Structure 1
Amino acid sequence: MKYVDQLTKQQQEELQKQYEVLSYGVDSIVPEDKFKEKIAKSIKEQQPLKVKLGLDPTAPDVHIGHTVVLNKLKQFQQFGHTIQLIIGDFTGKIGDPTGKAAARKALTDEDVRHNAKTYAEQFGKVIDMDAVELHYNSRWLSKVNFSEVLQLASQVTVARMLERNDFHTRYQMNKPIYLHEFFYPVMQGYDSHVLESDIELGGTDQEFNVLFGRQIQEQFNQEKQVVLLLPLIEGLDGKEKMSKSKNNYIGIDESPNDIFGKTMSIPDELIVKYFELTSNLSIEEVAQIKTQLTDGALHPIEAKIRLACSFVEMLYDKEEAKKSQAHFANVFQKNKIPDDMPEVVWNQDLRVGIVDLIKELGLLPSKSEVRRMVKNGGIRINQEKITDPFTTVDVVDGMIVQVGKRKFVRLRVK
């Protein structure tokens, strides 16, 4: 008999509540009928589910896009389930080939340690890291002998591997696929076997990898995990997946003012999706906002302000959210100069070209970017717009340099 059928009325209500929250915003569940059964078994036996998220520490910067999966982990935590966070210090030396047109560069041990530490610190802004099981998969993968590797590999065909879009594309383009790359999803699946995971989370782009856990668990006659695939969130450009490399991201370690300001620039058509997947608001609150936006009772700008406040509150606190909202209102809506801004001591020539000044201050990465910003009207000196990239300015103490809508610097001359 199924566990679902064995629950009391009160337990059935708890099952329905967990299922509604935990499946909310999920792109797909594989297999969906087994997910409810997993939750029911957990309730019946009073045993928390083991929920796995694997991470290769390839980059230390966490952004709002990561909160899609972090918020889901937080929901599992709130229902008392156990989070298994796996730092792929062993798999990271191969690198996830997903979406790559070439093999990844291997990470050094130092890279892994640094990035893993940064991940843990930043994730702690969203989930309770004290209640997380933190694992490094080198602990078991480094001990697998070659005989065991061959046994695992004997259950996986090359044709199956070439079903992956990235491998298939490279094969069609006659680009090299290295044998060790085939072992990446196998090792990720082996992690699920070792930890006997009940659930694994991953983005929709990770479907091939996370489904391997079910295959490997089956090899070892274990109960197979259920996979929850979560949508990818577009970045500030509204087109590409949020990524630091595409400069369309909101970093969770950025200042409250920057988080607030960047959130206000997201495209209107993404407001609801951001609320659903990345905010800390309840399902009911998001549904109300969605209705208000549809009815015209809530202006998109007001919705973005609420979203921005939710981000700052989630990553900092309510007080910082209030301050960043006031800062945004003064600087952007009322066009005022902020009272608080970085100060930089200028000890070079007091007469300098605007392009050299901005580049020297590090406010833009290149002189070509400065010229482009000038032409777009995005550079001001003491609130006066600079329109000519060949402009020369006289640097004086207290002069305020503004680049775009968010960058302000006050110069000090000694």
Structure 2
Amino acid sequence: MRDHPALLAAVDEGAVIPVYILDDDAPGAWRIGGAQRWWLHHSLARLGEALAEKGSRLILRRGDALGQLRSLMHETGAARIHASTQYEPWWRRVDTALGDALHLHEGNHLCRVEDVRTGSGAPFRIYSSFWKALQAHLPPPRPLPAPDAIPAPGQWPTTETLSDWALLPTTPDWSTGFDADWTPGEAEAQRKVEALGALLSGYDVQRNLPAEDGTTRLSPHLHFGEVSARSVWHATDRHADATGFRKELAWRDFTDGVVMALPDYATVNGRSRYDDLPWRTGRAAKGDLQAWQRGRTGYPIVDAGMRQLWHSGWMHNRVRMITASFLVKHLLIDWREGERWFWDCLVDADYGNNAVNWQWVAGTGVDANMFGRIMAPLGQSEKFAAGDYIRRWVPELADLPDPAIHDPEAAGCRPGDYPAKIIGHREARERALAAAATLR
């Protein structure tokens, strides 16, 4: 409700019909995953309550977004559609088809992504250059207040029922960890924004320590529009050491610019030379992929991250990089397999972020690590003091002391119920480099 330019523009014109359409067809293979559906259910419930407090209500429709919007305009006599800009390619196609009836507003980014361009007028593909150019558009506008009231139409259109959408898991209900870790909705997002000050003083160091509570955990709230990026930006105005955090916030704008320029970036290598990389396939590779998904690789930091993901729908940022690198480099499995798993399991799964981050780790992207830079998960675990993080998520190792817990197999104290390493680090590194050498 706060800082929602589309909503305020609609209120200025008269009666407003707030609508959410669940369209699983337009995205095709990228329909939202199970973890996002859990979040969406609770987020829509909170939004409906907030709208009711303003004298309004939330209309729910399911199906083709374009057809549903046209039908609603015909049913109600609505003259205009106000919405926030989205950059996923399927929504951009819907926007184009709606034509002049649609008025878009920038509500989820620091500025219009289209406005941050290279000297030749193209979107940036290198983040450091993007960040430098973004400075000309900063600070973002101050956030806008929520409307005092929302004028209602004389007659409401029909609505579907949220419970009928069956967004929540039932058989089995794998979301019990989600319930313990997350509270979707604008109120919780605002609480986290107000708590930013306590995190920023040590953010650049603490955010890399998996065992510490040093990250904001705002990502799903930002993804679902429960808080705006510019509201978060201005909440850090009084903190002199906010630059590192603000760069992370701006990364979201950058990744949307990448997928605006390269709509197929989630499925196509940013560097075509990697199209011929000999990824492992077949039964052995499938078994390794399943071991990675289940947190049974024999590398404690990797297994802790994958189990955290399954239990809570989220993973610490540093561990996301470690687990992704392990899949691509150690197991030599196509980055797209990991991207799809994250898409289904993350509550903050985002088309642009997911694609750009995976291609960055894999080395296949337009702005990416070199493929030959292979993270050493055991060294990363010790460097970033992940002992207590491992103890929480891999209980088989809970009684092991530091530093044995980072590599219990080498320390000679691997418990019998914890798997041996799926592959040795040196062996995996040599295999990955040999695969990359075939491209030269």
TM-score normalised according to structure 1 size: 0.29
Higher strand share: 1
Structure whose CA Rg is larger: 1
TM-score normalised according to structure 2 size: 0.28
